[in-house]
């Protein structure tokens, strides 16, 4: 597996990244407000003068400007997520989100920020903190955030050894998938969470060829480094449980997995310890 390209933010601190983002956002926001209001005002004048074609054209441009603003902001924010998805820098990601939270008062955005900080808790192996943070987030039963919340909750409970509560979180994710996910994207996200968590909650010794196929498929389709590294660790776990120690050792190579979050590194070290113990016991 080739090493992923690091993000464009690797050399910057979280404070530098946020300051640059916030200045850019405020300038763009001002431009959007001026542009939309200007186009809407001219459209209104055109309508009052009877130029209905121009009225609808200008009104459409005002709406298009608002949509374009949200699209550009979304692209910038997706690039910033590479702090965690490509660099696996949970400390920087946490700090950026804390700074973002200080500047936002919109309910949905703050709930999304809380989910992202909980993800940083999980990446750091602070599973109890992740669960407590997620419990404080209030969202509707049809919210698209549910898939993220239930995934982090179920896996955190698993690593804490609370199998019963983890299985309950899985059942909630399955219910969301079957009853409440409204869009095709939400259903796909929930389905992805359910198949991953369902496998994780079963003992690795019971994983069979279908589980191996799932791991390989998810590994091949992974869109970011942290996802690939996570599934690579699970593949190493499968190979070790099924006796292929050499393949497991290769999958756990630092060059294959780096960079890693603190939780990933602990999992890798534990698996590597098992690999070395079995090699010595041959």
DSSP 8-state code for residue 205: G
- Confidence at 108, pLDDT banded by 50, 70, 90: confident
Neighbours of 11 (CB within 10 A): 8
What is the reported pLDDT for 141? 77
Residue 6: the pLDDT is 87
Residue 162 has pLDDT above 50, yes or no: yes
CA distance 124 to 78: 21
Confidence grade of residue 1 (pLDDT, cut at 50, 70, 90): very low
125, containing H or E segment? none
H or E stretch covering 262: helix 262-280
Within 13 Å of residue 77, how many CA atoms lie on the same side as its CB? 14
Q: Is residue 195 scored above 60 in pLDDT?
A: yes
pLDDT category at 282 given cuts 50, 70, 90 is: low
Q: Examine the pLDDT at 2 and tell me if it is beyond 50.
A: no
Q: Is the Cβ–Cβ distance between 224 and 4 less than 8 Å?
A: yes
State mean pLDDT over 142-149: 87
Mean pLDDT rounded to a whole number for the chain: 92
Q: With contact defined as beta carbons under 8 Å apart, do 62 and 43 qualify? A: yes
Does residue 202 have a pLDDT over 90? yes
Mean pLDDT to the nearest integer, 219-232 = 95
Question: Which of 165, 138, 139 lies closest to 154, judged by CA?
Answer: 165
* 165-181: pLDDT as tens digits: 999 999 999 998 998 87
39-53, 82-96, 149-163, range with the lowest pLDDT = 39-53
- The reported pLDDT for the residue numbered 263 is 97
pTM, two decimals, is 0.89
- Choose the weakest-confidence range: 96-100, 107-111, 274-278: 107-111
Residue ranges of alpha helices (H) inside 49-144 are 52-80, 82-85, 90-103, 107-123, 127-135
Q: Which of 112-121, 130-139, 176-185, 233-242 has the lowest mean pLDDT?
A: 176-185
């Amino acid at each position: 597996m080739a090493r992923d390209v690091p993000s464009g933010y690797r050399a910057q601190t979280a404070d530098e990244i946020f300051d640059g983002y916030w200045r850019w956002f405020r300038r763009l926001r001002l431009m959007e407000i001026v542009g939309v209001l200007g186009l809407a005002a001219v459209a209104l004048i055109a309508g009052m003068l009877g130029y209905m074609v121009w009225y609808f054209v200008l009104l459409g441009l005002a709406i298009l400007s608002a949509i374009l603003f949200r699209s550009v902001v979304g692209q910038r924010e997706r690039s910033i997520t590479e702090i965690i998805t490509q660099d696996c820098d949970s400390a920087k990601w946490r700090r950026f989100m804390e700074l973002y939270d200080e500047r936002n008062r919109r309910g949905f955005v703050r709930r999304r920020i809380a989910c992202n900080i909980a993800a940083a808790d999980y990446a750091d192996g602070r599973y109890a903190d992740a669960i407590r943070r997620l419990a404080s987030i209030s969202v509707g039963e049809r919210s698209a955030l549910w898939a993220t919340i239930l995934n982090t909750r179920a896996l955190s409970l698993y690593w804490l050894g609370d199998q019963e509560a983890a299985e309950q979180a899985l059942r909630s994710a399955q219910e969301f998938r079957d009853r409440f996910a409204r869009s095709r994207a939400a259903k796909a996200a929930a389905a992805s969470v359910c198949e991953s968590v369902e496998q994780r909650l079963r003992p690795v010794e019971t994983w069979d060829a279908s589980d191996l196929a799932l791991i390989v498929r998810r590994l091949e389709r992974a869109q970011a480094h942290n996802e690939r590294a996570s599934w690579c660790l699970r593949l190493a776990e499968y190979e070790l449980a099924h006796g292929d120690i050499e393949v497991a050792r290769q999958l756990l190579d630092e060059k294959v997995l780096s960079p890693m979050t603190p939780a990933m590194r602990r999992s890798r070290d534990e698996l590597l310890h098992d690999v070395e113990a079995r090699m010595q016991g041959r």
